[in-house]
Structure 1
């Protein structure tokens, strides 16, 4: 029998707050971190995005370190992970996983920096050394599924006996590189994004960090903890940036997660979907969920609050989903008014209280990658 693996602690740093409590309070009130920005250093036109306030970040970071040789992203990563490390002991059998899409890509904007400053391995090592991890840092970087895929990777490594527990931190920041790339695709919405809505026309980008602690120690598990019960990651190899029109990769990822969890799809109480608000992504998800008989399950996208935070999105949205399950609360999908997809889906339109025991988190990304993870709340 495989080990059971649990998430017992989590945290996040976003434009809506520097902990889970403040984020949930903001979400329940319908607040969004997306604002109109005019920053010619990043993009030579006005753009909507969700950006963490640098002044507030500096003040918060000063409480855990007086050093100044950290980038904005590094400060966000360290701040997200700090309260978890303070509560859980690091041992020689503790894994450290960094999940990111671009990492310190903004370091390349300064020509004085060596190219090594942008290496993902260098970022992972710097965070690892700050907290004193003794195991080799592990980097998970697979486009926009990186955050949720890191949970699946950690679960499997713990179940294999390679580690007893794991700390995962995910982070991506907005930069000229990221903004110009999505702008060149003509994929950025002119207004705050509207996942699954008939008037959606593209993504809104954002930045954030999130962290979770995972363990197989059942003695550390209390009521309300979250068990990771199944996962799947399938690449449909459809296109360098466009998703499969039939949702095949996402469908197979979800099927794989259900097989491992050994539960029926009718037990799912909530789906935290990817929902980027692009025409093809949202349509593909609606098709996949219908093919699996999940169209009636309450579902939302958090992109209307945080924007698309790239590799962070899967872990950040899992952290929020965990809080929703713990509080038995469903958060509406901001920006949604009328369905803009061809298949019926049950988009959450208002705050609701309901019992959440089983929930599903999905993500899809460039290159055809898809990941799905199933969770169960421990009673």
Structure 2
């Protein structure tokens, strides 16, 4: 049984109203059909340069996660701004000179624009004292209790994992994700006091940490749940209170690197309500044996965003549980930033079918910039599981 909170404690964990929507953009804004039209437009425009290009699940997941304003007008994913999707690998290149062709110039610029940590920055030693101090401060702030269950002696969860900027190599690898962070979150730049070329350990601070029960900690690190940022309030004493909501992630089929049929959604009985939001004829979908990403998500939210199958009898935590964290004004903005980055990464992985198995996501080589699909390995591993299960009977 979880320990009870003191009535005057700074952190409160409350049961919220029933879940009406999984908090991602495609379920909070009208215009789902516009998203699919944008996806088709993006595919058409990229195929001008690369005939073999097709929208895959990783692309569609991003389109479903972002507000429409970033897909239209001059938004980050507006089709005219997708020239970066033309595949060019950033292998080591000489510096630009007047004898280079246009293509050689572009490759050189791409390589030399990659993130580099200053050469005089020293790596952080293991178990750096500032890291331990930050974890202790986090424990004090959160009352040495899990912010979700209220249980004492929690683990310290890092939103941006430790080891992302403890030495120059790790720092460079993380810095190269700056563009992806902006595209996935819509407007968050890693270099806005979260990451730096001149200072290591920028995320080894209390603002990147939260106290969680050991069970929740392990589920968070596997991408099976996450915290959604709601808002920040100024309190009478001048401090700030951040409101988060806890959500389980959907367990979806592994669609890693899968080409998406953008017309399949129209065969699933889409219908719009008075607010312009879209639902589906799930009886028809089940009867005809159809599977489509947004339809699967719609089913997940209508079931109340339930926990993973294996965990439904242990923690018994519902999606939508409200969490309040009291924090200083100075740290409130950066705390909001790391929560949003973590949420974007976890929901993106989940939409691709990667909740609890994100290692199957298509990656990008830090050596040459090439895509590294893992879908064949995923299918091989799934077939091994089926054979092992069959051999038991």
Q: TM-score, normalised by structure 2?
A: 0.26
Q: TM-score, normalised by structure 1?
A: 0.27
**Structure ranking higher in strand proportion:** 1
